[in-house]
């Protein structure tokens, strides 16, 4: 099993068709700023802090490292083996899409509680779209009892400078996400067509290059515009 789409590629595809195609065919062209890298680091720190609240959790990535296509098989083995278990970076594969869930708790009855961890201070629309894709994939593999998004509900402006605890705001979006499955399926079908195309989409630049995230391929697209202007 080799996945075609991932959560990051799906979110990229919602923002720009060309960015999705480049993510699949030319990921080496991506460039991230120092601030973007710092934001990634802050996100990982917040995620690790939440995972610490599951002291017996098993991290799939520790054993399999970058071999992400093997994550679903090991995840399934552990879920089927144990009556109750906590997993980090659990892999699920459906409809050519691979997703890795931050925290998965298998309940005694076999259903799953999913926790997607985000370090932002608000429950943004992008976070909801991210969670919707994961719910779609995971619920086609296992019965999901609850799907929650965990975010930093206390803004930096309100946080005391000596704050040592991390404020986890947990929102259950299960019903909302389940209602979006038809939309997710349609989006995936469209994105698979784009990802498998041999020709790069001629998507023009615009405000979408900056929202909701600054695209790491902006320099590449701008270079193409400059080359075209010479003729």
- The answer to whether 12 and 195 are in contact (CB under 8 A) is no
- pLDDT of the chain, 231 residues: tens digit per residue: 789 999 999 999 999 999 999 999 999 999 999 998 998 898 999 999 999 999 999 999 999 999 999 999 999 999 999 889 999 999 999 999 999 999 999 999 999 999 999 999 889 999 999 999 999 999 999 999 999 999 997 654 444 444 445 579 999 999 999 999 999 999 999 999 999 999 999 999 999 999 999 999 999 998 864 444 333
Q: Say which residues have a Cβ less than 8 Å from residue 200's Cβ, sequence separation at least 6.
A: 18, 21, 22, 25
Cα dihedral 192→196→199→204 (10° resolution): 20
Half-sphere exposure of 139 (CA within 13 A, CB side): 19
Pair of tokens at residue 179: 């209602």
120 preceded by cis ω (within 30°)?
Answer: no
User: Percentages helix, strand, coil for the chain, rounded to the nearest 5?
Assistant: 45, 20, 35
pLDDT per position as a tens digit, 95-152: 999 999 999 999 999 999 999 999 998 899 999 999 999 999 999 999 999 999 999 9
CA 13 to CA 8: how far, in whole Å?
9
């Amino acid at each position: 099993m080799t996945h075609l789409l991932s959560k990051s590629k799906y979110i990229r595809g919602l923002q720009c068709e060309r960015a999705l195609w480049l993510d699949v065919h030319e990921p080496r062209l991506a460039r991230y700023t120092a601030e973007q890298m710092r934001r990634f680091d802050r996100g990982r720190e917040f995620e690790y802090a939440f995972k610490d609240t599951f002291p017996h959790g098993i991290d799939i990535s520790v054993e399999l490292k970058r071999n992400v296509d093997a994550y679903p098989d090991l995840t399934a083995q552990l879920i089927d083996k144990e009556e109750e278990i906590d997993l980090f970076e659990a892999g699920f594969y459906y409809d050519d899409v691979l997703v890795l869930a931050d925290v998965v708790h298998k309940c005694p009855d076999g259903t799953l509680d999913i926790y997607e961890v985000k370090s932002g201070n608000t429950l943004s629309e992008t976070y909801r779209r991210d969670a919707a894709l994961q719910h779609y994939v995971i619920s086609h593999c296992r019965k999901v009892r609850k799907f929650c998004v965990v975010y930093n509900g206390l803004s930096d402006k309100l946080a005391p400078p000596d704050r040592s605890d991390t404020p986890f705001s947990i929102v259950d979006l299960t019903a909302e996400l389940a209602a979006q499955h038809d939309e997710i399926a349609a989006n995936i079908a469209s994105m698979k067509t784009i990802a498998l195309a041999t020709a790069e989409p001629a998507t023009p630049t615009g405000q979408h290059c900056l929202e909701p995230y600054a695209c790491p391929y902006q320099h590449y697209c701008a270079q193409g515009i400059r080359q075209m202007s010479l003729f």
